[in-house]
A and B are shown apart, each in its own frame.
Chain A
C-alpha cells in the first residue's frame, strides 16, 4: 500500500511540476524571451534530484501538442535535458549565484541551440549559412533571455526554495 502511495505521490507531483512550468510559460508569453521554464527546471532538479528529470520529456510532449511538432521542437530534445543535467551536477550548491549564472548562460545560448536543427534544412542553400543567419538575427532576443534568466534566478531562488522546503516532500 505504501509503495502505491509513493508511486501516486510521484506521478501527481510530476504532473504538478509540469503544470506549473506550462502555466508560467503561458502567463509570460506576452513578454518576449522572458520565461520561468529554465528557473523551474533548475529548481526542480536541485530540489527533487534525478527523479524530477522525467518532467522534461513530458513538458516537451506537451509543448509539441500545444504549439505543433515543428522544426523548433527538435531543440527541446537536447536543450532542456542539457540544462537539467548541468543543474543536477551543481545541485550541492546552496547559493543563488551559480544557478543564476547557469540560467543566464543558458538563455544567452538559447538561439544558438535553436539554430542547430536548421543546419539540416535549407536545401539547396547550405544549411550552415541558414542556421547562422537564424542565430544572428535572434541575438537581441538571446541577450534579453540571458539577462532575464539571470535576474529571475537571483531574485526568486531564495524565496522559492524556502517555500519548497516547507511544503514539498522529496520524490
Chain B
C-alpha cells in the first residue's frame, strides 16, 4: 500500500514537472530560439535605458545573432551600425556612435566578423563622441 502511495506520488511529481516546463515555455519562450550557444545582447539607448535579448543560436558571428534576436532591429551602412531599435547614431550628424562591447571590453571586430561563443554577453551602447 505504501509502495503504491510512493509510486502515485512519483507519477504526480513527474506530471507536475512536465506541466511546469510546458507552462514556463509558453509563458516565456517568446524571443528565445533553440540553438547550441546562449548569448545575451544588451542595448543601452541614448536615455540610458537597457533592453536585454536572450538568444539561443548556432550563429558564428554577431550580425546573425542580432538578426535572430526577437525585437532587436538595426541598420548597417558600409559596415557601420548606424541605427539600433530605430535610434540613429551618426558620427557626423549626431556626434554619437553605437559602441559594441563583449563583456566589459570593446569588440575588436565589426559585427560581420565578431565571433560568438556560448555565454557571451554583448552590449551595444549609444555613446556620445
Contacts and interface: CB of A to CB of B under 8 A. Distances in A.
Interface string B37-66: 010101000000000101010000000000
Contact of B34 (A70, A98, A137, A150): A137
Interface residues of A, number: 32
B21 interface: yes
Nearest to A150: B14
B24 A136 contact: yes
Nearest to B50: A125
Given A133-B54, A139-B29, A121 B14 contact: no
A50 B56 CA distance: 38
B28 interface: yes
B121 A130 contact: yes
Contacts of B118: 70-72
Main secondary structure of the interface of A (DSSP, over half): helix
Contact of B21 (A71, A102, A108, A134): A108
A7 to B, nearest CB: 37
B103 A123 contact: yes
Interface of B: 6-7, 10-11, 13-14, 17-18, 21-22, 24-25, 28-29, 32-35, 38, 40, 42, 52, 54, 56, 103-104, 118-119, 121, 123
Interface of A: 70-72, 97-98, 101-102, 104-105, 108-109, 118, 121-125, 129-130, 132-134, 136-143, 146, 150
Closest 6 CB pairs of A and B: A133-B54, A137-B56, A137-B32, A101-B10, A139-B25, A134-B38
